[in-house]
Structure 1
C-alpha cells in the first residue's frame, strides 16, 4: 500500500501541511493560485524505506506494527542488517532470523558505499558467518543486554575491525547515525497523525527579526 503524501505550502507567514493542495489558504482565506513559488505545494520526502530494497543497510522498525500504523513513539523498536538481496538478518529470542518480508516500512541507514567493491563482494559471506556464531543462539538472548541492537552493532564493529578501523560504542553509533534519522521520522509521524485527524496542519514560520 502506497504511503499517503504529505504536502507543504508556505503562505501568509505559515507552513501549511496537507494531503491535497487547497484553493484558498486555510490560515488567511486568500487564493493560493498566483501567490508565488513559495505557495506551490511541495511533497515532503518520506523518511521511511522499503527495507527489502535497501541492501547493505542497518534497518530500524517498530517491533509490532508500523511507524505510520499507530506507532506511539514509545514502543520497542527492532533492528536488523540486510544482505545484498535485502534479506534482513535480525536477532530475537528465537535466535537469528533471515526475513524476506515484514520490513517494508523502515528507517534505513546505508552501511557500505558504492565504491567499496571489496566489501560489497564479501558482505553476504561475512554476515552469514557472523550470524552463525554461538553468541546469537536463542538461549543467549537477553532483552536488556544481548539483543537485536547488540547483534547489529557487533556485526558492524566486526566489519570495521576487518577494515582496520576503530570500533563504535553503542552511544557513538546511536548519536551519529540513528538519532538524526529518528528525529526526522518523529516529525514526519507527527504530521501524518495530524493529517489523519484533520485536513490541514498549520505551523507559524519563525520571525526572522527574532532570530537576529
Structure 2
C-alpha cells in the first residue's frame, strides 16, 4: 500500500483512485475544471512506522506470515513502544525489545501529550514490568491462547491505569473500544486499495462510504 488513495465526490458519487482521472468513471464527464462536490483529498494511511512513535500499543502481522499483510485472517502480534520507539513484545522466548521490524503497524496511542509525569516514567515502568516472572520462560510458559503477546500488552496497560487510579480494562472491552475500530478502518482501506489497484478507479454511493 505504497500509493496514497485519493477520494473525490462527483454528482453524489464517491470516487477512489490513485490519481484524479481525466473523466469521471461513473458518468464519463470530464473532471478537469469540473465542479466537484468535494475536492480531491488524500486518505491518511492506516499504517504507521511504530519506531517513530512512543508510548503506544502497536499491532503487526505475526512473523509466521511471510507476506506481513493485514487481511483479516492473519495472526497478529502486539507490542508496546517506549519513548524512543523500541517495541517491547512477548514471545515464546520471553520479552523481546525490537528497534526495527515494526515499520508497517497499526498504532494505538496510550498516553496524551500533556501527561508529562507518565511519559517521564514510561520507560521505567515498561522495563520493570518486562522483568516480571510471568514473562520469564523459565517461570511461566507462553500460551498462544491464554498467555501471549496481547496478555503482556493488556497487563502492562492495566498497570499504568492502576498508577493513574483508573479502572482496569478487560480483554473484551479493550479490543472493542481501542483495537477493532482501527482494524476495521485498516481492512476497509486495504479493500479499497486492492479494488483501485485492480480497476484503476472505484466508485460508491455516498451512504456506502462510511469512515
TM-score of the pair, normalised by structure 2: 0.91
SS for the counterpart of 2:24 is coil
Asked whether 1:21 is paired with 2:20, we answer yes
Map Cα deviations across residues 22-77 of structure 1 (whole Å, 9 max, x no partner). Answer: 011011110112322425321111111110011000011111488x9643211111
Structure 1 residue 196: Cα displacement: 2.2
- Is contact 1:49–1:105 with CA below 8 Å preserved after alignment? yes
8 Å contact kept, 1:65–1:71 = no
1:188 offset after TM fit, Å? 0.4
Name 2:160's counterpart in structure 1: 159
Higher mean Cα deviation, 176-185 or 124-133?
176-185
Gaps of 5+ in 2: none
Residue 120 (structure 1) aligns with:
119
Equivalent position SS for 1:23 = coil
Q: Do 1:89 and 1:96's aligned partners in 2 also have CA atoms closer than 8 Å? A: yes
Task: Give the aligned CA root-mean-square deviation in angstroms.
Answer: 1.9
The aligned counterpart of 1:150 is 151
1:20 CA drift (Å) = 1.0
Select between 144-153 and 112-121 the one with higher mean Cα deviation.
112-121
Secondary structure class of the residue paired with 1:40:
strand
- Take 1:42 and 1:89, find their aligned partners in 2: how far apart are those partners? 35
Q: How does 1:86-125 map to 2 (within 5 A)?
A: 86-125=85-124
SS in structure 2 at match of 1:3: coil
* Counterpart position of 1:82: 81
Q: Distance in 2 between matches of 1:205 and 1:167?
A: 39
Give the 5 Å matches for 1:1-212: 3-38=2-37, 40-64=39-63, 70-138=69-137, 140-206=141-207
Distance across 1 between alignment mates of 2:47 and 2:13: 26
Could you list the runs of 5+ residues in structure 1 that have no partner in the other structure?
A: 208-212
Equivalent-residue separation in structure 1 for 2:10 and 2:64 (angstroms): 36
Instruction: Report SS of the residue matched to 1:41.
Output: strand
Give SS of 2:180's match: helix
State whether residues 32 and 39 of structure 1, in contact with CA within 8 Å, keep that contact through their aligned partners in structure 2: no
